[in-house]
């Protein structure tokens, strides 16, 4: 059943996430940057392949991400913005029967995630340096078994609106790339971030399974939760953590 958790009218989604963007993200080689030595992580992330997938190679895996992993036939789970990689590497370690892919924009964080994956010896995890605004470059319809988004969009004020990934277009994209039965797991310290996506799903073949207002009091809507790096910061401040579990209809 469609559910609206914000009480606001549902926005109609567009077909892709990025029609309003003027550029096409492909990534660059170090020598193509004007100051390639400025960011040491830029060079380093290229030396960490695998588990790193560099930006210009990521679109080549579209529709065949299994080829990036030792066990190609395992279900594919995607985490957008894994940050330091604690969740991605931890979930990969917990679920060796699934393939885990992270998409992260910042070179330094790509390196951190790769280090976490290597330390965990999680051979079923990969981290692609890519822009989540360009996700339609990377996946065909029905390619994902799970989508995980933890503490995205740290802009609570209106002026950050244009940067927000958590919007109708993300829900529209998820409805096409998730397999029937595929799950979306989202956590945030900012309830409107989840509301926007959940409300958009009311208009899509995605159903809300559970919405939790304070997972420290009530527990997460899934049994195998891992506290992420940002989550532990909000926990220290005593702030509530919101979580939503959604499922692609069959």
Ligand X SMILES: C[S@@+](CC[C@H](N)C(=O)[O-])C[C@H]1O[C@@H](n2cnc3c(N)ncnc32)[C@H](O)[C@@H]1O
Please identify, using beta-carbon distances, which residue of 165 and 201 lies nearer to ligand X.
Answer: 165
Least Cβ distance, residue 44 to ligand X (angstroms): 16
Please identify, using beta-carbon distances, which residue of 19 and 31 lies nearer to ligand X.
Answer: 19
Residues 76-95: x/- map of binding to ligand X (CB under 6 A)? -----xxx------------
Please identify, using beta-carbon distances, which residue of 22 and 250 lies nearer to ligand X.
Answer: 22
Residues touching ligand X, count (CB under 6 A):
19
Q: Which residues contact 207 (CB under 8 A, 6 or more apart)?
A: 1, 2, 3, 201, 246, 247, 249
Please identify, using beta-carbon distances, which residue of 207 and 229 lies nearer to ligand X.
Answer: 229
Please identify, using beta-carbon distances, which residue of 239 and 249 lies nearer to ligand X.
Answer: 239
Binding of ligand X by 54 (CB under 6 A): no
Helices (H), the chain: 40-47, 86-94, 107-120, 168-177, 191-201, 215-218, 229-236
* 169, burial (CB in 10 Å: exposed 0-12, middle 13-18, buried 19+): buried
Which residue is catalytic, options 153, 189, 210, 214? 153
Our answer to whether residue 131 is catalytic in this structure is no
Dist CA 98 CA 179 (whole Å): 14
Binding of ligand X by 104 (CB under 6 A): yes
CA-to-CA dists, residue 42 to 69, 107, 111, 119, angstroms = 23, 6, 9, 20
Binding region for ligand X (CB under 6 A) out of 99-107, 136-144, 176-184, 208-216: 99-107
Strand order in the sheet with 242-248: 52-53, 125-129, 99-104, 76-80, 144-150, 178-188, 242-248, 206-212
Please identify, using beta-carbon distances, which residue of 56 and 249 lies nearer to ligand X.
Answer: 56
Least Cβ distance, residue 129 to ligand X (angstroms): 9
Footprint of ligand X on residues 115-154 (CB under 6 A)? 131-133, 150-152, 154
Least Cβ distance, residue 180 to ligand X (angstroms): 26
Least Cβ distance, residue 165 to ligand X (angstroms): 6
CB 204 within 8 A of CB 171: yes
Least Cβ distance, residue 40 to ligand X (angstroms): 17
Dist CA 74 CA 56 (whole Å): 24
Measuring CA to CA, which residue among 250, 229, 191 is closest to residue 84?
Answer: 229
Binding of ligand X by 105 (CB under 6 A): yes
CB 201 within 8 A of CB 162: no
100 has which bridge partners? 77, 125
Least Cβ distance, residue 29 to ligand X (angstroms): 19
Give me the residues that bind ligand X (CB under 6 A), please. Answer: 81-83, 103-106, 109, 131-133, 150-152, 154, 228-231
Please list the active-site residues: 153
């Amino acid at each position: 059943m469609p559910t609206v958790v914000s009480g606001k009218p549902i926005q109609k989604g567009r077909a892709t996430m990025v029609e309003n963007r003027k550029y096409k993200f492909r990534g660059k080689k170090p020598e193509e940057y004007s100051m390639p030595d400025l960011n040491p992580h830029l060079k380093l992330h290229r030396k960490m392949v695998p588990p790193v997938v560099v930006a210009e190679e990521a679109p080549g895996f579209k529709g065949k991400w299994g080829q990036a992993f030792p066990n190609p036939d395992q279900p594919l789970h995607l985490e957008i913005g894994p940050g330091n990689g604690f969740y991605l590497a931890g979930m990969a370690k917990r679920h060796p029967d699934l393939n885990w892919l992270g998409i992260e924009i910042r070179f330094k964080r790509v390196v951190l995630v790769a280090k976490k994956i290597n330390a965990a010896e999680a051979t079923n995890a990969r981290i692609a340096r890519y822009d989540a605004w360009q996700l339609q470059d990377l996946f065909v319809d029905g390619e994902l078994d799970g989508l995980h988004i933890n503490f995205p969009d740290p802009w609570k004020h209106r002026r950050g609106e244009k940067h927000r990934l958590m919007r109708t277009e993300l829900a529209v994209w998820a409805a096409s790339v998730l397999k029937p039965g595929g799950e979306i797991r989202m956590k945030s310290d900012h309830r409107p971030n989840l509301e926007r996506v959940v409300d958009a799903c009311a208009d899509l073949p995605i159903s809300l399974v559970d919405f939790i207002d304070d997972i420290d009091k009530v527990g997460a809507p899934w049994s195998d939760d891992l506290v992420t790096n940002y989550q532990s910061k909000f926990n220290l401040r005593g702030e509530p953590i919101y979580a939503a579990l959604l499922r692609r209809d069959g």
